Amino acid sequence: MNITLRQLRYFKALTQELHFGRAAERCAISQPALSVQIRELEDALGLELFERQPRALRLTPRGEEFAGQANAILQGVDELGDWAASARDSALGRLRLGVIPTVAPYLLPNLISQLTQTYPQIDLHVRETVTPRLIDELTDGQLDAAIVALPLDEPTLVETPVFSEEMVLVRPDTDADARPVALDELAKMRLLLLEEGHCFRDQAMSFCNINPNRPRGGLDGSSLGTLVQMVGAGIGVTLIPDMAIDVETRSAPVCINRFSGAAPGRSIGVVWRATNPMGPALQDLVPLVRQAAGHEG
């Protein structure tokens, strides 16, 4: 049986896209070439991996089983490359780093500067997306590490806390003289939240004891910046983390209102696969993230 890693990578792309044209584009080859490689893979296995219909493509039951095996092989190959790089040099060489959207705009400028100064030869790739996708891409071997809100409670991942920060309440600037509010008062306010998929949304709803199934009437935003601008327009109030204050409030008619009692907060950390041989080098990332966030202590 002659199966190549190239065929496995093409197969993986096709399982993710379920469209020959898009998978071929993703692999930077022609669609006919991709089709030939997939057919040769099926011939080598003696199995139909895909059910081909005029307007649909789906994995067969055997194809689904094979996908799990193929992904494990590809992840192992990627980790062999990471191991070799780690064996040659304990410093970070290539780093594929994921960051959640409520951290990326405020941390990355300083962090990238820190990384390039510390590791002048680093090959850095940054991916900004929501936590569930980062977990999937970490598990799948597409990312080496991610900066997320903790805890994740994923047994396959190492979680290393880096720093904690408080949340503040953003109000229209007409409320500049308002007294500090207690946490239990938030549920009575028109609180603007990020759209579904953001862990920051889930945290805010938990702080405020908001039922996640309660209709909200279109009061969700795609970014903290959008929410702050909506507050400036007088639509409601919102929560942002300390690290976002300078960036998000400088161009909006808003004010910051801290809490009268215990403030809500979050813990930010770095996570990576427990099996990743880059683990010792990734530990060196932790103090750089802490420093970039202004939490050197």
Q: Which domain holds residue 210?
A: 166-264
Same domain, 208 and 250: yes
174 and 230 share a domain? yes
Of 76, 95, 126, which closes a domain? 76
The answer on 253 and 197 residing in a single domain is yes
Closest CA to 113 of 296, 293, 297: 293
pLDDT value of position 22: 92
User: How many domains would you assign to the chain?
Assistant: 3
Residue 95 sits in the same domain as residue 119: yes
Domain presence at residue 297: no
pLDDT tens for each residue of 159-202? 999 999 999 999 999 998 888 888 888 878 888 888 776 777 77
Which of 76, 96, 118 delimits the end of a domain?
76
pLDDT tens digits, one per residue of 257-294: 988 878 888 999 999 999 888 888 899 899 999 999 98
Q: Which of 182, 199, 201 is nearest to 191 (CA)?
A: 201
Q: Are residues 50 and 99 in the same domain?
A: no
Tokens 């590809």 locate to 74
Residues 23 and 12 both lie in one domain = yes
The mean per-residue pLDDT over the stretch 117-145 comes to 92
8: nearest Cα among 44, 53, 32? 44
Give yes or no: residues 96 and 147 share one domain: yes
Same domain? 224 vs 147: no
Q: Is the same domain home to 177 and 217?
A: yes
